[in-house]
Amino acid sequence: MKTINRKIVAAICSAAMMTGAAFAPSLGIIKDTALTASAYSGYINGCHWEYEMDITGYAITKCRNYQHLQTVNIPSTINGKPVIAIYDNAFINNSESCAQYIKNLTMPNTIYKIGSNFFKNCDNLQSINLSTSLITIGDYAFYDCDGLHSINFPDSVKQIGSYVCNWAWNMYDVTLGSGIEVIGANSFARMRDLNNFNSNRSEMLWSVGTGVLTNSKWANNRSEDEMLCIGKNNRVLLRYQRCNTNPTVQLGSNVRILADGAFNTANWNHGHWVRDIYCPRIEHIGNSVFGMVPNARVHLSGSLMYVHYGTNYNTSVPPLVAPATAYFDLP
């Protein structure tokens, strides 16, 4: 019954828009009483929106761009309350949302969360202004958005999900804000035109998934570098790779974080030669970091491991280092 009522409401709204009929109250909002107490829908800024309560405001659950608008403004308030979140699949490319027609999107600064599949496969999107209150961005948010040429993540953003800009082929500029802490796997992979990846102000970054910049132009241009790092002062080691057989690796004191798979790149064939890896200031070890250096002794600071992994660091850290062997012999 709820599904049928949703379809009836959507059909009535669509017909009213095409005929120019005024069906909504003066506030531009209607409440679908046939649905649950927290589910609502209505026309605002030319689009039909579905939304529900989320803590202190409303969350957008679906945008229906029936008029095929190219410029869409997400409402900042509904019924006097702020719009604070966008849930999964709200603008995903399908016949319900018609989001594939949107070229320019403006987001109010009240929004703190974007769910997964936000604009997935919407390759006509050309520009977006992200909320300056935004904290989290879900997986696949801008996946395959070929029309986007650049994206600037505000300083407020702390977490970026996996595959966020994966396959966004025509994006040439990405800027991370100072507050970013977590980047999911493959977030900026397969971006063939990525010329600039600016993370110089990202001083809080501590967790980076595997393959973040795999097969992106920016990373490929550094294919000869031994170390590929990002973050303020190059604090995060994304990839270590070299072609010689020197048995010793010495990381600088600027490197604080080992991203997932940092010593586990598939095209590095000399890892078995490595015997000692010195990591004097490492604070966090990602997943599967040392897969290609099984014979290595990884030298770590016992005091830093104690601070960041607790009193049981000597038992919790070795599994993170495997198949290499952990040694806590640095000051």
Q: Give residue 25's pLDDT band: very low, low, confident or very high (50, 70, 90).
A: very low
pLDDT value of position 225: 81
Q: Give residue 5's pLDDT band: very low, low, confident or very high (50, 70, 90).
A: very low
pLDDT value of position 263: 94
Q: Give residue 268's pLDDT band: very low, low, confident or very high (50, 70, 90).
A: confident
Tokens at 210, concatenated: 């595997």
Q: What's the whole-number mean pLDDT along residues 216-228?
A: 88
pLDDT value of position 211: 94
Q: What's the whole-number mean pLDDT along residues 109-137?
A: 97
pLDDT value of position 14: 40
- ∠ CA 44-48-52, nearest 5°, is 85
pLDDT value of position 38: 55
Q: What's the whole-number mean pLDDT along residues 226-234?
A: 95
pLDDT value of position 26: 25
Residue with the bigger pLDDT between 268 and 298: it is 298
Question: CB atoms < 10 A from the CB of 219, how many?
Answer: 22
Q: What's the whole-number mean pLDDT along residues 142-150?
A: 96
The yes-or-no verdict on residue 306 having pLDDT over 90 is: yes
Q: What's the whole-number mean pLDDT along residues 231-247?
A: 91
Q: What's the whole-number mean pLDDT along residues 5-27?
A: 35
The 3 state secondary structure assigned to 185-246 is CCCCCCCCCCCEEECCCCCCCCEECCCCCCCCHHHHCCCCCCEEEECHHHCEEEEECCCCCC
The yes-or-no verdict on residue 280 having pLDDT over 60 is: yes
3-state secondary structure of 169: coil
* Rg of the chain on CA atoms, in Å: 24
Picking from 199, 113, 208, the residue whose alpha carbon sits closest to that of residue 156 is 113
Q: What is the mean pLDDT of the chain?
A: 88
Global pTM?
0.86
Provide the residue type at 80 as one letter. G
Q: What is the pLDDT of residues 52-88, one digit of tens each?
A: 998 899 999 999 999 999 999 999 999 999 999 999 9
